Structure 1
Amino acid sequence: MTSVTTRRGDRRISPVFVGILAVTAVTGWAAWTGFAEQPGLAVFLFVTAAWIVSLCLHEYAHARTALHSGDITVGEKGYLTLNPLKYTHALLSIVLPVVFVIMGGIGLPGGAVFIERGRIRGRWRHSLVSAAGPLTNVLFAAVCTAPFWLDALDGVPDAFRYALAFLALLQVTAALLNFLPVPGLDGYGVIEPWLSYDVKRQVEPFAPFGLLLVFALLMVPSVNREFFQAVYWILDALGVDVQNRYCGENLYRFWQETNEYCAVS
């Protein structure tokens, strides 16, 4: 009886996550209805809260897939509760990504659930565990852009439409960055099981610095330009045009000078 109760407790959704969902819902409603006197503040809170929700779902996807692949320890570690405070590095998975969104409008890959890989058998399962997180970002991006590619924007207020566009941009950047085959990122985790032992051994020392390498490369103007061109191409294909993207980011940074081009009606 005790063990069953414990297992159920391990999978019970955390009140912390419910609280984040509540903030997302309330601020989304404020952005939709224009209830807030400052629409930029509502957009800022809505996008930030929704971004944290997506980070929690990203890590949950890793953990849930690992559970069904053989790692039964993820439950007792609290990974199935969607509580961001249970991550091994809450700073790297939640705080730092939010800071990067505020500063640079880029979806920083998180990644702080410890999977006991030795419990998982089969290369395909290992690859799927790694792919589950960024695939969640892909799904989140599809949901955010659905009103655009379904041509269902009639009646959607400007502020809420801009917020969805910026949130979609964050999800696309996060998915692309996570899928890069760089040590330390999920993309490398997808291909790692298929590499030879010698190759994995040579690459292993560089894993802690993979993310730093990616951001160093993004500081190179030509690389940065090519990366965001890929992001914009995907968003254009999903119907999210440059005006919605630009106005979403502009409105999100409400503390900056407002651009009349993005006036909210």
Structure 2
Amino acid sequence: MNRQVSPVFLGLVTVMGVSAWGVWADYAANTGVAVFLFVVSAWIVSLCLHEYAHARTALHGGDISVGAKGYLTLNPLKYTHALLSIVLPVVFVIMGGIGLPGGAVFIERDRVRGRLKHSLISAAGPLVNAALALALAAPFLLGLLDGAPIAFRCALAFLAMLQVTAAILNFLPVPGLDGYGVLEPWLSPRARRQMEPFAPFGLLAVFACLWIPEVNAVFWSGIDTVMEALGVSWQEVAYGLEYFRFWEGEPRNVFIPR
């Protein structure tokens, strides 16, 4: 069973650390480029941790095949749905500044016994996103960022928001998403059969709904409420997105309320 951490993942962590230092020290000629590298690398690292959590929980649930598939190495290239798990989430971050749920690793469910274990396997991924959101927001709540570089503070706020959106979207009880995976073992066989054909379209349906102005407004209002509760202001998140989109020019006259 291969559990050695992949050099690919270690490379991503290195890029994340170096770019974070670049943002903090304002070393880069263009701060926005450093913010972009920091956010993208950190986001991919979080996606790897999300998928690893599914696989690790499945291993303890009885599916030992996850080791042979390379899921325990944290290598994003080993995931069954590399496009859904890595590429599309990064593209959505770049395009819309939203944390897209990744595609789950392939779990051999017939090896897992017990409905609770199946639910925990599905819940493990978004719980990682929730934990990362709390970890990223902790410096704001504890006042540890007073005097920190504005660009770093805003980049961290933007990353925290991405984790919040990923956790919330993943936990929606929609076929194809982890939230439905938590509920599915407790449904009747007939209900599961009826919902199964909708699984490939669940994520598309969610994002189609987000295009509806009224739904979009409610969604982002809820995100703002959560972020405020975590001690992160909407201004910090907004400026973080502006720094991230360095090709549009870095924000000027940044004002962060204390």
Q: TM range, normalised to the smaller chain?
A: over 0.9
- Decide whether the 8 Å contact of 2:31 with 2:151 is kept in 1: yes
The 5-angstrom pairing of residues 81-100 of structure 1 reads: 81-100=73-92
Distance 1:38 1:127 in 2: 45
Distance 1:121 1:258 in 2: 53
Figure out how many residues of one structure are paired with residues of the other and give that number: 256
CA RMSD of aligned residues (A): 1.1
Gap runs ≥5 in structure 2? none
> Would you say 1:164 and 2:170 are equivalent positions?
no
Q: Which amino acid aligns with 1:115?
A: I
The 5-angstrom pairing of residues 1-265 of structure 1 reads: 7=1, 10-262=2-254
SS in 1 for 2:253: helix
CA deviation after TM superposition for structure 1 residue 153, in Å: 1.4
- Decide whether the 8 Å contact of 1:90 with 1:112 is kept in 2: no
- Decide whether the 8 Å contact of 1:100 with 1:107 is kept in 2: yes
SS in 2 for 1:112: coil
Distance 2:172 2:151 in 1: 32
CA deviation after TM superposition for structure 1 residue 247, in Å: 0.7
Distance 2:66 2:204 in 1: 27
- Decide whether the 8 Å contact of 2:175 with 2:195 is kept in 1: yes
CA deviation after TM superposition for structure 1 residue 154, in Å: 2.0
- 1:102-128 CA-to-partner distances (Å, cap 9, x unmatched) read 000000000230001111111111100
CA deviation after TM superposition for structure 1 residue 72, in Å: 0.5
Q: Which amino acid aligns with 1:157?
A: P
Q: Which amino acid aligns with 1:16?
A: V
Q: Which amino acid aligns with 2:36?
A: F
- 1:60-92 CA-to-partner distances (Å, cap 9, x unmatched) read 000000000100000000000000000112111
Percentage of identical aligned residues:
66
Gap runs ≥5 in structure 1? 1-6
Distance 1:210 1:39 in 2: 37
- Decide whether the 8 Å contact of 1:74 with 1:80 is kept in 2: yes
Q: Which amino acid aligns with 1:241?
A: S
